[in-house]
Amino acid sequence: MAIQEKVECIIMLCNCIEMGKFKCHQYWPLEKDQKISFGEAPNQIHVTKIDEKKMSPEEQCINVTTLKLEWADGNKTVQHLQWENWPDRGVPQTNLTAINLLSSTRGNQFPILVHCSAGIGRTGTIVAIAYVQDKMMAGEDCMAMNELLKELRSQRPWSIQNEFQYLYLHRVLLAYFLERHKSSYGELLSAENATKYTKWVEDYVKATNGK
């Protein structure tokens, strides 16, 4: 798929093993300069690990690995970003990690491949965040969240698996909005709305065990 769709960036939102169960094949080498191969000649694909680093000092949960793909009539470099601490069917800590991850991929001219273990919960959530972020950055109106959920599920059934991921989507986007407008958002919130927001955050934190 990466070769066919000319993918230059892969976002992986899971670990290969979670809760003692295999969730994803280890499709890239673990060691630098190590090469692994898939398929048989003449359709064999070779994957070599060039280097690995953390996305930033603040985002230690995201590994950034540079991979070289080689096949019979070509080769390409792919950036692989793995978010290591987003639990299956759950949510990570509420901060701007999702936004920072997506921002690091902007500028790609080709499709970005996003996956988790089932390709619906974590994947659907990050795709929804990317969609709304794009609209916000462009200053465009966005459809209501419930309509966005329906649209996603019409293309990928069960996208955003549960209420926690749905709420996480809202919290991340609200945090992003407040960060973008931090010089003026205080004036936008009435005392009543500020109280409602604080209560909503408190309820969310309790429901997600402190996240």
- In a domain, residue 97? The reply is yes
116 annotated active-site: yes
- Any domain includes 3: no
User: Does the residue 74 lie in any domain?
Assistant: yes
Task: State which residues form the domain around 197.
Answer: 9-207
Does residue 135 carry a pLDDT above 70? Answer: yes
Residue 36: count of CB within 10 angstroms of its CB? 14
| CATH code (residue 140) | 3.90.190.10
7-46 confidence digits (pLDDT tens): 999 999 999 999 999 999 999 999 999 999 999 988 999 9
> 88 in a domain, yes or no?
yes
Residue whose C-alpha is closest to residue 68's, from 101, 16, 33 = 33
| Statement: residue 210 has pLDDT above 70 | no
Q: Which of 14, 61, 116, 142 is catalytic?
A: 116
Does 1 reside within a domain? no
Please say if the pLDDT value at position 186 is more than 90. Answer: no
- The string of pLDDT tens digits covering residues 107-122 is 888 999 999 999 999 9
Q: Is residue 99 part of a domain?
A: yes
Residue 23 falls inside a structural domain: yes
In this predicted structure, the answer to whether residue 52 has a pLDDT above a threshold of 90 is: yes
The average pLDDT across 109-138 equals 95
| Separation CA 90–CA 76 (nearest Å) | 34
Stated pTM of the model: 0.90
pLDDT of 195 above 90 = no
Residue 188: pLDDT band with limits 50, 70, 90: low
Helices assigned H by DSSP within the chain: 97-104, 121-138, 145-155, 163-180, 185-188, 191-207
b/e burial code for range 48-60 (CB count within 10 A of at least 16 → b): bbeebeebeeebe
Q: How many domains does the chain have?
A: 1
